[in-house]
C-alpha cells in the first residue's frame, strides 16, 4: 500500500498540482516500474524471457502496491531507490508466479531504472510546460494586441524615459516565450531517450541479445535509443534544466515589471483581485502582488538549482558517487518551480487590470520632459545635433527650475519658435505621436507566436 506524504505547506503557492503529481513519490515509483514492465516485454520479444512470465511482472508494476515509507527507509541503506524497489517487485511477482521472479530486472542496473523512469516523468513534465507556455502565450498575444496603442512611460534605469505602449511591453514577454518554446521543441528528441547500459554501460550481461533488447525496450517506452548509455554524461538533463531556467528568468522579468507597475507611486497595472488575495495581516488597504512574487521567487531559486546540476556534470568513470545523487531532487524541484510560475503568470496575464488613465497621467508627471528627445531630433535636422541638444537641455533645466511644462518653455524660446510652429510643438509633445514601431513589434511577436503554434 502506498503512503503519500502530505504536500509541503507552500506547494499550493509555488507548484502546479499536475506537476507535483508527476514528481510525487507515486510518480517516481511508477516511472521505474514502467521501465521494469517494458523491459520484461522487450526481453520476451527477443526470446530472453518466456512470454508466460510477462503478465505477472506487468501486474506487479503498479506503484500503489508498494509502501513508500518502507522503501524510503530501505533507500537510506541501499543508496538509491531502485535497489529496494526491485527487491520488493521480485517479492510481489514471486507471491503470484514464483517462476517469473527470476526474470525481473534481467540485465539492467539500478541507474537504468531510475534514469529511464526520470525520463518518462520528464516527458510528462515537458508536455505540461509546453501546454502552459502555449496557453500563456495565447493570452499575452491577445492582451498585446488589445493594448498595442495604450501609451505608457518607458523606464530606463528606473527613471522615466520615452513613451512606449503596454502592448509593446507584453509583446517582449511573448517573444521570449516563443523562443523558449522553440528551444524545448528542439531539445525534446535529445532529452527523451532510453537509459539502458547494465552494470558498467556495456550490456555484457545480455550478450548478443543486448542491442535487440535495447531497441525493443526503446520502442516499448516510445523513447529514442541513444548512441550509447549515458550514465555519467548528463548534458541532456542539464540542457533541459537550463531552458527551464530561461523560462523562469523571463517569467521573473514579467513578474518584476508587474510588481513595479503595481507600486502605489505608479499604479498603472494590477494583478486581478479576488477575496483574500494580496492582503496584509495588519494593513487593510494593502494589495500586494502575490502572483508576481512567485514569478520572482522562481527566477531567484532556479539558477542556483541549475548550478547544482552543472556542478554535478564531471561524474566519475562509468557510474558516479554523490554527483548523480545530487540530481535526484534538483531537477524535479526546477520543474515544479517553473510550473508554479507559469500558473501564476497565466492568472496575471488573463486578469490584469489596466489603468490607462493613470498611465496617461504618469506620462505627464515630468511635464513634457519625456518627449524632449522628440523635439531635439527634429531641431537637430535644422540647427545641427550639438546645438539642438544643448538648447533642449537648457529648456529642460528651465522647465524643472520654474516648474513649468516643457511645451510652455519651448513656446517662449525664440530659437525654438523660429524653427517650429505651435502646431508642430503640440504634435511633438503628444505621446501618442512618439510611439515609434511599437505596433509593429506587437504584430511581429504575435505573428511569430502564431507561426510556431500552427
Question: Would you state the cell numbers that stand for residue 397, as one nine-digit string?
Answer: 533645466
Q: Taking Cα atoms as reference points, which of 242, 260, 238 lies closest to residue 314?
A: 238
Residue 125's SS3 state is helix
DSSP tag of 233: -
Element (H, E) at 153: strand 151-156
Contacts of 168 (CB under 8 A, 6+ apart): 144, 148, 435, 438, 441, 442
- Residues 6 or more apart from 288 whose CB is under 8 A from it? 278, 279, 280
* Contact status, residue 150 vs residue 167, Cβ threshold 8 Å: yes
- Taking the C-alpha atoms of residue 370 and residue 427, their distance in angstroms, rounded to an integer, is 14
Helix, strand and coil percent figures for the chain, each rounded to 5: 70, 5, 30
Q: Which of 379, 362, 389 is nearest to 425 (CA)?
A: 379
The one catalytic residue in 69, 301, 319, 439 is: 319
What is the C-alpha to C-alpha distance for residues 197 and 179, in angstroms, rounded to an integer?
34
Is residue 339 annotated as part of the catalytic site, yes or no? Answer: no
Whether 24 is catalytic: no
DSSP string for 320-357 = -SSTTGGGTTHHHHHHHHHHHHHHHHHHHHHH-EE-HH
Q: How many angstroms separate the first and last alpha carbons of the chain?
A: 45
Catalytic option among 280, 361, 385, 417: 280
Per the CB < 8 A criterion, the answer to whether 338 and 247 are in contact is yes
Question: Could you give the CA distance from residue 67 to residue 72 in angstroms, rounded to a whole number?
Answer: 9
How far, rounded to the nearest angstrom, does the alpha carbon of residue 424 sit from its chain's CA centroid? Answer: 47
Give catalytic residue positions: 280, 319
Amino acid at each position: 500500500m502506498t503512503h503519500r506524504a502530505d504536500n509541503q505547506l507552500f506547494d499550493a503557492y509555488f507548484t502546479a498540482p499536475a506537476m507535483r503529481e508527476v514528481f510525487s513519490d507515486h510518480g517516481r515509483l511508477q516511472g521505474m516500474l514502467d521501465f521494469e514492465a517494458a523491459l520484461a516485454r522487450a526481453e520476451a520479444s527477443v526470446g530472453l524471457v518466456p512470454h508466460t512470465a510477462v503478465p505477472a511482472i506487468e501486474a506487479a508494476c503498479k506503484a500503489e502496491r508498494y509502501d513508500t515509507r518502507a522503501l524510503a527507509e530501505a533507500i537510506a541503506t541501499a543508496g538509491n531507490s531502485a535497489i529496494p524497489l526491485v527487491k520488493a517487485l521480485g517479492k510481489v511477482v514471486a507471491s503470484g508466479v514464483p517462476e517469473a521472479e527470476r526474470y525481473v530486472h534481467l540485465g539492467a542496473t539500478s541507474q537504468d531504472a531510475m534514469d529511464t523512469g526520470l525520463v518518462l516523468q520528464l516527458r510528462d513534465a515537458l508536455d505540461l510546460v509546453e501546454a502552459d507556455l502555449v496557453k500563456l502565450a495565447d493570452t499575452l498575444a491577445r492582451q498585446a494586441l488589445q493594448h498595442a496603442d495604450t501609451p505608457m512611460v518607458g523606464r530606463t534605469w528606473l527613471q522615466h524615459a520615452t513613451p512606449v505602449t503596454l502592448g509593446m511591453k507584453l509583446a517582449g514577454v511573448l517573444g521570449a516565450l516563443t523562443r523558449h518554446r522553440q528551444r524545448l521543441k528542439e531539445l525534446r528528441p535529445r532529452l527523451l531517450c532510453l537509459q539502458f547500459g547494465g552494470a558498467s554501460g556495456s550490456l555484457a550481461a545480455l550478450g548478443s541479445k543486448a542491442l535487440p533488447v535495447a531497441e525493443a525496450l526503446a520502442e516499448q517506452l516510445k523513447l529514442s535509443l541513444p548512441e550509447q548509455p549515458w550514465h555519467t554524461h548528463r548534458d541532456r538533463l542539464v540542457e533541459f534544466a537550463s531552458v527551464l531556467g530561461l523560462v523562469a528568468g523571463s517569467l521573473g522579468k514579467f513578474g518584476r515589471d508587474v510588481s513595479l507597475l503595481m507600486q502605489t507611486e505608479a499604479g498603472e497595472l494590477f494583478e486581478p483581485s479576488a477575496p483574500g488575495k494580496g492582503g496584509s495581516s495588519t494593513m487593510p488597504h494593502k494589495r500586494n502582488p502575490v502572483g508576481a512574487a512567485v514569478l520572482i521567487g522562481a527566477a531567484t531559486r532556479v539558477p542556483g538549482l541549475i548550478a547544482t546540476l552543472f556542478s554535478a556534470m564531471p561524474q566519475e568513470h562509468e557510474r558516479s558517487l554523490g554527483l548523480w545523487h545530487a540530481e535526484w531532487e534538483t531537477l524535479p524541484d526546477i520543474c515544479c518551480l517553473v510550473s508554479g510560475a507559469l500558473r501564476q503568470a497565466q492568472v496575471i496575464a488573463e486578469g490584469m487590470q489596466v489603468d490607462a488613465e493613470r498611465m496617461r497621467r504618469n506620462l505627464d508627471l515630468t511635464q513634457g520632459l519625456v518627449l524632449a528627445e522628440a523635439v531635439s531630433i527634429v531641431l537637430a535636422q535644422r540647427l545641427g545635433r550639438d546645438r539642438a541638444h544643448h538648447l533642449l537641455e537648457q529648456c529642460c533645466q528651465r522647465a524643472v527650475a520654474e516648474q513649468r511644462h516643457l511645451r510652455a518653455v519651448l513656446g517662449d524660446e525664440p530659437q525654438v519658435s523660429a524653427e517650429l510652429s505651435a502646431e508642430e510643438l503640440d504634435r511633438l509633445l503628444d505621446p501618442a505621436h512618439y510611439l515609434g514601431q511599437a505596433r509593429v513589434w506587437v504584430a511581429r511577436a504575435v505573428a511569430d507566436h502564431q507561426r510556431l503554434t500552427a
